[in-house]
Structure 1
Amino acid sequence: MKYKNIVFDMGNVLVKYDSDAAARQFTDDEKIIREVRLIIFNSIEWEMLDGGLITEEKALQRMLDRFETDEAREVGRKSFETWNKVCMQPNNEMGEVVRALKDKGHNVYILSNASARLPKMYKEVIPNADLFDGVFYSAPEKLLKPQREIYVRFFEKFNLDPSTCLFIDDLEDNITASKAAGMYGYCYADGDINKLKKFLELN
């Protein structure tokens, strides 16, 4: 396999991600769970947090102002405060892919949109986290995929030639952008680990 450096996204690649798990800790009311998903996790503030453009305190206050009831607002607050403890579960099969790549002499990196909370605790949820040669999260850089600039900054930070890199992400827009920046991409939207292993020549 011609790519020396394999670059992984985090959500729905290295970890299994379910935003509804946050609200389900506190309610079984599907209406409230949906409201939390839309107001918290699908919000512009969530994107701004990933881009390092807003504080958690300010983001949370804006989000809470949009809830219809006090009950939903309280579930929303608790969900926001605890989401990183319950929404992400290690994808252990992908952890074994990472180990196999390292055993074959590849370098492995993380390039992911993530808020300032993630760099402090990613090793708790990413399998074989200590094997990575570099970790790059969006919030500290104040950049976001699929901006071209985030890929350029990633290459600069780790002194990488993009033509030697393969990017694995679950979103086609991010893969398209990585290719435009000179890094070939593999879209893992189907979650087919065996297909990915075959592509990586790990079978």
Structure 2
Amino acid sequence: MTIDTFLFDIGEVLVDWNPDHLLRKLLPDDGAIRAFRQEAVTQQRILNMDRGQSWDEQWAEIEAHAPHHLDTAREYGMRWVETIAGPVQGSVDILTDLQARGFPTYALSNYGAENFERTVAVYPYLDTFDGRVVSGYEGVIKPEPEIYQLVIDRFKIDPARTLFIDDRPENTKAAEAFGFQTHIFTTPERLADHIAALNLDR
């Protein structure tokens, strides 16, 4: 089946995101960073924000359960965009090239709504897609089936003709259940090789 549509994840595919990029500025050492991530901005709280939780709600939870981290958590939230070191430039170049060649491009990302708005303000290429599904606005996250169906229904795309690019295997596996072609992202170079092998028609 010919690929004629591209669906991109954002974090760690198009932007170099890692909480430690900011936490190294806020905390004195790796032990303090580890404690903060285990007790304050935990993996579960990151997922809660991806589902639509606000920073005010998250800070209230941290105040109740880990008040000694509250000041750092507030600064972390206000400076969240600094968790991004910059663009993954090779991936941005691929996106720009596909758009210039006339291929529809979409985004599907687990991303808190407040954080996404700040990110787009700094990285405007994230505002160039033909459409986006961002989990924080929808209340569902990858790899839950509902979010893939939402992409299909909202944008009227054919999964069999769409390459979904994501850095997490559980997300690509879930997409494959809907018939998407997939690429597990590791480097822009490997993505470029995959796309070149598709022998696109334009």
TM class by smaller structure: 0.7 to 0.9
* Amino acid in the other structure paired with 1:161: D
In structure 2, relative to structure 1, the CA distance for the partners of 1:44 and 1:155 (3 Å cut) is: same
Helix, strand or coil: the match of 2:7?
Answer: strand
In structure 1, the residue matched to 2:32 is 32
How much has 1:127 moved relative to structure 2? 6.3
In structure 2, the residue matched to 1:195 is 190
1:151 aligned to 2:115?
no
The alignment yields a C-alpha RMSD, in angstroms, of 2.2
Provide the rounded CA distance (Å) in 1 between the counterparts of 2:7 and 2:59: 31
Provide the rounded CA distance (Å) in 2 between the counterparts of 1:195 and 1:57: 40
Helix, strand or coil: the match of 2:143?
Answer: coil
How much has 1:24 moved relative to structure 2? 2.0
TM alignment of 1:54-93, pairs within 5 A: 54-67=53-66, 70=68, 72-83=69-80, 85-88=81-84, 89-93=86-90
In structure 2, the residue matched to 1:185 is 182
Provide the rounded CA distance (Å) in 1 between the counterparts of 2:127 and 2:62: 35
Conserved? CA contact 1:163–1:182, under 8 Å: yes
Conserved? CA contact 1:98–1:128, under 8 Å: no
Provide the rounded CA distance (Å) in 1 between the counterparts of 2:124 and 2:88: 7
Provide the rounded CA distance (Å) in 1 between the counterparts of 2:139 and 2:17: 23
Structure 2 residue ranges without an equivalent (≥5): none
* Amino acid in the other structure paired with 2:165: I
For structure 1, which segment, 4-13 or 74-83, has the greater mean C-alpha deviation from structure 2 after superposition?
Answer: 74-83
> Which of the pair is proportionally richer in helix?
2
**How many pairs align?**
197
Identity over the aligned pairs, expressed in percent?
26
In structure 1, the residue matched to 2:101 is 104
Deviation digits for residues 31-65 of structure 1 (CA, Å, limit 9, x no counterpart):
2211222234433222111112x332222221344
Conserved? CA contact 2:15–2:88, under 8 Å: yes
Structure 1 residue ranges without an equivalent (≥5): none
Conserved? CA contact 1:92–1:127, under 8 Å: no
Provide the rounded CA distance (Å) in 2 between the counterparts of 1:186 and 1:127: 24
* Amino acid in the other structure paired with 1:159: K
